[in-house]
Chain A
Amino acid sequence: MNIDDWKSQIKRGTLEYSILLMICKRAYYGYEIMSELEKYPILSAKENTIYPLLRRLLKEEFLSSFWQETAEGLPPRKYYSITEKGKEYLEAMSVEWGNLLTAIEEIKEEGNGQKNA
């Protein structure tokens, strides 16, 4: 049984949503996003996934970016924050996400009902 292929499809489909949900609360920089995602194996992703994805979201104007100096004497970091367009997109995603969860729940219960009958 190989579940990895399915897991990577799930990840591909939900990474964008997860990242927008994070950035919607406050500005994040790339490495910070990756460390946050590392807490969840199903979502964890490397530089070669996260950076190109962030660039695409920038190009699509769902995100905007700015460079900020750090206090600890480190080089400046590139922060990402959400735009108005990004918020609308995120809202639409949340609706669809809710639809998906409801659908899965209903399908599960239907299955149970048949079993009991």
Chain B
Amino acid sequence: MDKKMHDYLNQIDRYLKPMAAAERADIINEIKSEMLELEAQKGMSAEEILERLGEPRELAKAYMGEAIVKNNTFSLRKFSTMFAFYGLAGFTGMFILPIFSVLSVGLMFCGAIAPVAGIVKFLGFLVGIEVPWVMFQFGTYTAPAYVVFPLSVVTGVLLFAAGWGLWKLMIRYIRTVSLGKRKLQQQE
């Protein structure tokens, strides 16, 4: 097999790093199988084959775009896939994706932490201990210890919902970007 085709496959493999190893190997083998078939059956040269397949990063991006869009759940693997995707997505992605992803995960994290802190404060209040490092402050208003817990739950839910909404928005953005790209390729 030609060195150029080998390099091509290696590049795809590198771009797909965030995917599971078995899935990646399967993708590479399928492309490799097509390359060898085009070479043997159609007598195509390495250059012609690579031209047909297109830029390795574009092909890798198509795989990753489909993998991210396919479901709406949150997982660490998905998060890292998305992070790798933004590197391929181009200029707007360089701003929107890192900001949205960090912000959405941050908000969801805060949303989860707030009620926990509220419980600590509330337990402290029950047994008569002042917990000075947990307090609910809004502008000049400081909530008394016994309402901190319900307030923290409400705040937590709101923060989490905001994070979740951003996450969804980001998925939609990725979908638009990858569809837009596909459209351009089909028009060529």
Contacts and interface: CB of A to CB of B under 8 A. Distances in A.
Interface of A: 4-5, 8, 11-12, 29-31, 45-49, 51-53, 55-56, 59-60, 67, 72, 74-78
A48 B70 contact: no
Interface stretch (B56-64, B123-131, B134-142): B56-64
B29 A48 contact: no
B164 to A, nearest CB: 23
Given A55-B67, A59-B70, A8 B59 contact: no
Shortest 9 CB-CB contacts between residues of A and residues of B: A52-B66, A48-B62, A8-B186, A31-B34, A52-B62, A78-B30, A75-B33, A8-B183, A48-B59
Contact of B185 (A48, A51, A56, A76): A48
B34 A74 contact: no
22 contacts: A8-B182, A11-B186, A12-B182, A30-B30, A47-B31, A47-B34, A48-B59, A51-B59, A52-B63, A52-B67, A53-B66, A55-B27, A55-B63, A55-B67, A72-B41, A74-B36, A74-B41, A75-B37, A77-B33, A77-B37, A78-B30, A78-B33
Contacts of B33: 29, 74-78
A1 to B, nearest CB: 14
Residue from B32, B59, B186 with most neighbouring chain A CB atoms (10 Å) = B186
Contacts of B29: 67, 78
Contacts of A49: 62, 182, 185-186
Interface string B96-107: 000000000000
Interface string B5-33: 00000000000000000000011011111
A46 B185 contact: yes
Nearest to A65: B26
Nearest to B69: A56
Nearest to B178: A52
Nearest to A52: B66
B179 interface: yes
Nearest to A73: B40
A72 B33 CA distance: 13
